[in-house]
Amino acid sequence: MAIRKSVKEESFRPEDFLKRLDANDVGNFYVLLGEDVTRAEQFLTTLRTRLVPPGMEDFSLETITVDKDTNGAGAIIGAAETIPFMGGYRLVIVRHGEELDSEALEALAEYAQTVYEKKRPDMLLIIVMSTLDKRLKFTKTIQKLGAIIDCEPEPIRDLREYAQKHFSKVLTPGGERAFAEIVGSDTRKVAAEMEKVSLYTGEREEITEEDVMAICADSNIQDEWELRNCLLSGDMGGTLSALKSLRQDPNGSEEGIFAKLTYIMGDLPVISEAAKRGDMRAARVFPGNPRYTAMRNFLSELPIEKQRKIMSLMMYEMIAFRGSNLPKDIMNDLSCISLIL
């Protein structure tokens, strides 16, 4: 269970810590928490530059890497307690702190409290960790002390602004919608996929929906996307073609196809209403969304005949939503003939 912020006191960013350092307003014990590796290394480099004079690295700087053979607290506390050479400063950096065992973390929690109460003017201990277990005393202690430096990646809130700023690309509304639904919101994944799409478009300024589909979606997802679009537009020929492509997935199964169709058709009323409101971001719910996973898991446990009945019901709802005046049974039969055969 990873956490980013304290329940009692907000964590702060590396740049805020450096401002405190300039004002001589920092303690002795901190956890550099998060997975933004580039930012973490830049921060540590700045600390070394400011705190360790050139030529004094062997005396004033100690780096400890935690592994299966070195996962206790003794070496870390011993390094921090070593008196700085000739009255200088002591900087101790501990890498892969998430590998420390519970006993070591317990001891470090007590040490953190000790140096907080008896602050030293000549030492800084930084433990670099990717995650923290919020159940541990160690986590609760450093939260209480406000000793977390937040180094999680900055969230990408505006895809179009991000594409323009970092890649000089114009992400079209369709491209933005497709990217958000296929890639999701994980910062590292968004950055990696945006770079791939940008390289794919070459010197062309725009990134379109087609570009995103070509790079970020596998063929199976492309077929689902096409089927959903054809159903919304009433293109029966395109619907049958997309359904055929969906069935040709070599890794697919009859149960899987029924699950996908049920999901797609059950969402069409919601999708259409969202489109009418102009809410294009909500106009399509795409695989990768938790709703899709929940539906897939639910259907996978049902007998195939039960899946058939559910899909038939969903198809009827889709046709009824589109305003047909045909009797229910005829609509249901036409659905099955048009969309299954």
pLDDT band at 47 (very low <50, low <70, confident <90, very high): very high
Q: In the chain, which residues fall in CATH 3.40.50.300?
A: 14-150
For the entire predicted model, the pTM comes to 0.53
More confident residue, 51 or 335: 51
Q: What is the pLDDT of residue 126?
A: 96
Beta strands at 90-95 and 206-207: parallel, antiparallel or unpaired: unpaired
In the chain, what percentage of residues exceed pLDDT 90?
A: 28
pLDDT-derived band at 4 (thresholds 50, 70, 90) equals very low
275, 232 contact by CB (below 8 A): yes
Question: In Å, how far from its chain's centre is CA 70?
Answer: 31
pLDDT band at 172, cuts 50/70/90?
Answer: very high
Q: Considering all CA atoms of the chain, what is the largest pairwise distance in Å, rounded to the nearest integer?
A: 93
Q: Which of 207, 261, 204, 203 is nearest to 231 (CA)?
A: 261
**DSSP character at residue 282:** G
Give the mean pLDDT of the chain: 76
Query: Residue 113 pLDDT > 90, yes or no?
Result: yes
Mean pLDDT of 42-63: 88
Mean local confidence (pLDDT), 26-47: 89
pLDDT digits (tens, 9 = 90+) for 115-136: 999 988 899 999 999 888 888 8
Can you give the pLDDT at residue 232? 65
User: φ and ψ at 102, to 5 degrees?
Assistant: -65, -35
Q: DSSP states of 40-69 as a string?
A: HHHHHHHHHHHHS-TT-HHHHEEEEE--SS
Tell me: the pLDDT tens digits for 224-253? Answer: 667 766 766 666 677 777 777 766 665 555
pLDDT at 247: 63
The CATH code belonging to domain 14-150 is 3.40.50.300
pLDDT digits 0-9 by tens, 136-147: 899 999 999 999
The 10s digit of each residue's pLDDT in 194-229 is 888 988 888 899 999 888 877 876 655 666 667 766
Cα separation, 63 vs 271, in Å, equals 54
Burial of 217-237, coded b for 16+ CB within 10 Å and e otherwise, reads: beebbbbbbbbbebbbeeeee
pLDDT at 46: 93
Provide the pLDDT for residue 116.
92
Quick one: pLDDT at residue 249? 60
Which residues neighbour 286 within 8 Å (Cβ) at sequence distance 6 or greater?
181, 182, 221, 225, 292
Residue 337 or 274, more confident? 274
Q: State the pLDDT at residue 165.
A: 87
Q: Where in the chain are all domains bearing CATH 1.10.8?
A: 156-217
Report the DSSP pairing between strands 170-171 and 206-207: parallel
- DSSP tag of 147: -
Rounded to whole angstroms, what are the CA distances from 206 to 106, 168, 210, 255, 280?
Answer: 53, 9, 11, 39, 19
DSSP H helical ranges for 52-186: 57-60, 74-81, 102-117, 137-145, 159-167, 173-183
Q: What's the average model confidence in pLDDT over 92-113?
A: 93
Q: Strand 148-150: give its sheet, edge to edge.
A: 61-65, 90-95, 123-129, 29-33, 148-150
pLDDT level of residue 37 (50, 70, 90 thresholds): confident
**Residue the block writes with tokens 């929940």:** 294
Q: Are 119 and 84 in contact (CB under 8 A)?
A: no
Q: Which residues pair with 32 in a beta bridge?
A: 128, 149
Where is average pLDDT lowest: 61-70, 249-258, 266-275, 278-287? 278-287
Residue-wise pLDDT for 9-20, tens only, equals: 457 889 999 999
pLDDT at 53: 83
Cα dist. 160→172, 180, 185 in Å?
Answer: 8, 11, 13
CA neighbor of 155 nearest in space, from 13, 274, 21: 13
What is the 3-state composition of the chain as percent helix, strand, coil, each rounded to the nearest 5? 60, 10, 30
Check: CATH 2.60.40 for 156-217? no
Cα 165 to chain centroid, rounded: 21
Look at 123 and 294; give whichever has higher pLDDT.
123
pLDDT of residue 281: 47
Taking the C-alpha atoms of 83, 86, 87 and 91 in order, what is their torsion angle to the nearest 10 degrees? -60
Mean pLDDT, rounded, for 10-36: 88
Q: What is the pLDDT of residue 105?
A: 94
